[in-house]
Amino acid sequence: MLRSMYAGISGMKGFQSKLDVVGNNIANVNTSGFKKGRVTFQDMMSQTTSGAQGPTAARGGVNPAQVGLGSKLGSIDNIHTQGFLQTTNNPLDLAIEGDGMFQVIEEDGATYYTRAGNFYLDNNGDVVNPDGYYLTGTDGQKITIQTDAQSFSIQSDGTINYVNANGETVDEDGNPLTAGQIALYSFSNPAGLEKAGNNLFLDSPNAGLVTDAEVPRGIAPGTQGTGSLVSGALEMSNVDLAEEFTEMITAQRGFQANTRIITTSDEILQELVNLKR
């Protein structure tokens, strides 16, 4: 059988995967905190028909002769560039301007990370995400705002100030009333995080979570390289529709070109079969 036919099949598989990733990007163009994917390819093993030869006294060197056997999927990367900020004027909508991720936890201890900052208050005053997972502070514990608080505000460093039921903003010592400080978590390689769905990421051995004595360390926003918080805004998807449509056209034409290789290879095989007639 012709090697070109198998090369065409491998190309079709690769461009199908690329189209799957592009389709997912476009589907999440309006998803808060979404980070787009990118596909890269690698060439497959090449068959050597003749090896390289070094120069001798009688003749010069000869380069190797190799025939490639197609392409394969190299990687599917998550691109963690900054998305644009959309103003909502909701004080519990939080956007990160810079590096870092929020940490949310379940009661059983399961831990996730996210850039989607659409949080809410539950009946107990806990700050939760749409799935009910608790937002954590710099102490690693969930953040709770007093249920009798008249109002609250979130500063760019993550500090939550509130006005109590008596209209007071400071305690007996004159210090501002605070319900905690929101923490950010830093990763040396955020592209190494694993997507878990629902705008959540899981830590992985290659993500490089900043730790302190093997314990994840929450960092105050705006310090140690983390970004600052913007209250009343959400970070939107970093998907660029114009770029995705261009990639979609590239994937479509690449797929079509590989099908043409298979068609042409089939015609050649048909001519070989017809030689006996």
Cβ atoms within 10 Å, residue 138: 19
Is 52 part of a structural domain of the chain?
no
pLDDT surpassing 70 at residue 249? yes
Same domain, yes or no, for 96 and 229? yes
Same domain, yes or no, for 122 and 205? yes
Number of domains in the chain: 2
pLDDT surpassing 90 at residue 19? yes
Nearest Cα residue to 255 out of 2, 3, 20:
20
CA 240/CA 230 separation, integer angstroms = 22
Same domain, yes or no, for 111 and 226? yes
Is 22 part of a structural domain of the chain?
yes
7 contact partners, CB below 8 Å, separation of at least 6:
68, 69, 70, 71, 261
Same domain, yes or no, for 181 and 132? yes
Enter the DSSP assignment of 191.
Answer: G
Is 7 part of a structural domain of the chain?
yes
Residue-wise pLDDT tens digits, 96-143: 999 999 999 998 889 999 999 999 999 999 999 999 999 999 988 899
Residue-wise pLDDT tens digits, 170-221: 888 888 899 999 999 999 999 999 999 999 999 999 999 987 666 677 899 9
Report pTM: 0.87
Same domain, yes or no, for 203 and 250? no
Using 50, 70 and 90 to split pLDDT, how confident is the model at 94?
A: very high
Same domain, yes or no, for 120 and 217? yes
Maximum Cα–Cα distance for the chain, whole Å?
A: 104
Enter the DSSP assignment of 199.
Answer: T
Same domain, yes or no, for 256 and 217? no
- State which of 133-137, 222-226, 262-266 shows the largest mean pLDDT: 133-137
Is 60 part of a structural domain of the chain?
no
Is 55 part of a structural domain of the chain?
no
Compute the average pLDDT of residues 235-259: 95
CB of 146 within 8 A of CB of 125?
yes
Nearest Cα residue to 190 out of 178, 206, 174, 177:
206
Same domain, yes or no, for 167 and 182? yes
Q: Which residues of 168-204 are buried (b: 16+ CB within 10 A; e: fewer)?
A: eeeeeeeeebebbbbbbbbbeebebbeeeeebbbebe
Position 239 scores a pLDDT of 96
Position 277 scores a pLDDT of 66
Position 214 scores a pLDDT of 61
CB of 186 within 8 A of CB of 208?
no
Is 215 part of a structural domain of the chain?
yes
Is 158 part of a structural domain of the chain?
yes
CA 5/CA 69 separation, integer angstroms = 9
Same domain, yes or no, for 160 and 266? no
Position 46 scores a pLDDT of 85
Same domain, yes or no, for 120 and 36? no
Position 273 scores a pLDDT of 85
Give the three-class secondary structure for 272.
helix
Cα four-point dihedral sign 214, 218, 223, 229: positive
Same domain, yes or no, for 225 and 108? yes
CB of 124 within 8 A of CB of 147?
yes
Same domain, yes or no, for 150 and 34? no
Is 56 part of a structural domain of the chain?
no
Residue-wise pLDDT tens digits, 32-81: 999 999 999 999 888 888 889 999 888 899 999 989 889 999 999 999 99
Position 1 scores a pLDDT of 58
CA 7/CA 70 separation, integer angstroms = 4
pLDDT surpassing 70 at residue 271? yes
Task: Residue 101: give the domain boundaries.
Answer: 85-235
